[in-house]
A = this chain, B = another copy of it.
Amino acid sequence: MTSPTPIAAGATVADLGEFGLVKEFVGRFQQGAQVYVGPGDDAAVVRAPKGHVVVSTDLLVEGRHFRREWASARDIGRRAAAQNLSDINAMGGRATALTVGLALPRDLPAQWVLDLADGIAEEAALVGASIVGGDLTAGSEVVIAVTVLGECAVAPVLRSGAQPGDVLAIAGRQGWAAAGLAVLGRGFRSPRKVVEAHQRPEPPYEAGPAAAAAGATAMIDVSDGLVADVGHVAEGSGVAIDIDTAAFPLDEPLQAVGAALGVDPMEFVLGGGEDHPIVATFPAGSSLPAGFREIGRVTARADGAPAVTVDGSAYDGSPGHTHF
User: A220 on the interface (CB 8 Å rule)?
Assistant: yes
For A136, list chain B residues within 8 Å (CB): 323
For A99, list chain B residues within 8 Å (CB): 55-57, 147
Closest residue of chain B to A61 (Cβ to Cβ) is B139
User: A71 on the interface (CB 8 Å rule)?
Assistant: no
User: A259 on the interface (CB 8 Å rule)?
Assistant: no
Contact with B along A90-130 (1 / 0, CB 8 A): 11010001011111101000000000000000000000000
> Is B103 a contact partner of A61 (Cβ separation < 8 A)?
yes
Bound: A135/B13 CA distance, A: 26
Q: Which of B21, B42, B45 contacts A221 (CB 8 A)?
A: B42
Bound: A308/B59 CA distance, A: 38
Once A51-B51, A99-B55 are accepted as A-B contacts, the answer to whether A18 and B88 lie under 8 Å apart by CB is no
> Is B158 a contact partner of A37 (Cβ separation < 8 A)?
yes
How many positions in chain A have a CB within 8 Å of any CB in the partner chain? 74
> Is A46 a contact partner of B55 (Cβ separation < 8 A)?
yes
Once A37-B156, A45-B156, A137-B65 are accepted as A-B contacts, the answer to whether A59 and B103 lie under 8 Å apart by CB is yes
> Is B64 a contact partner of A43 (Cβ separation < 8 A)?
no
User: A264 on the interface (CB 8 Å rule)?
Assistant: no
Closest residue of chain B to A36 (Cβ to Cβ) is B52
CB interface residues, A 1-55, toward B, < 8 Å: 13-14, 16-19, 21, 36-37, 40-49, 51-55
> Is A47 a contact partner of B51 (Cβ separation < 8 A)?
yes
CB A82 to nearest CB in B, in angstroms, measures 14
Bound: A44/B54 CA distance, A: 6
> Is B158 a contact partner of A41 (Cβ separation < 8 A)?
yes
Closest residue of chain B to A42 (Cβ to Cβ) is B90
For A322, list chain B residues within 8 Å (CB): 17-19
Bound: A51/B14 CA distance, A: 40
Once A48-B51, A133-B57, A135-B59 are accepted as A-B contacts, the answer to whether A220 and B141 lie under 8 Å apart by CB is no
CB A322 to nearest CB in B, in angstroms, measures 5
> Is A143 a contact partner of B139 (Cβ separation < 8 A)?
yes
User: A198 on the interface (CB 8 Å rule)?
Assistant: no
> Is A46 a contact partner of B52 (Cβ separation < 8 A)?
yes
Once A99-B147, A147-B99, A323-B138 are accepted as A-B contacts, the answer to whether A55 and B44 lie under 8 Å apart by CB is yes
Closest residue of chain B to A220 (Cβ to Cβ) is B42
> Is A145 a contact partner of B57 (Cβ separation < 8 A)?
yes
User: A225 on the interface (CB 8 Å rule)?
Assistant: no
Can you list 7 A-B contacts (CB < 8 A)?
Answer: A13-B324, A41-B156, A43-B90, A47-B52, A58-B101, A59-B139, A63-B140
The 10 closest A-B pairs by CB, nearest first: A145-B145, A43-B56, A42-B90, A57-B99, A147-B147, A48-B48, A59-B101, A42-B87, A18-B323, A61-B139
Apart from the given pairs A41-B236, A106-B324, 4 other A-B contacts in the complex at a CB distance below 8 Å: A42-B219, A42-B220, A58-B101, A104-B324
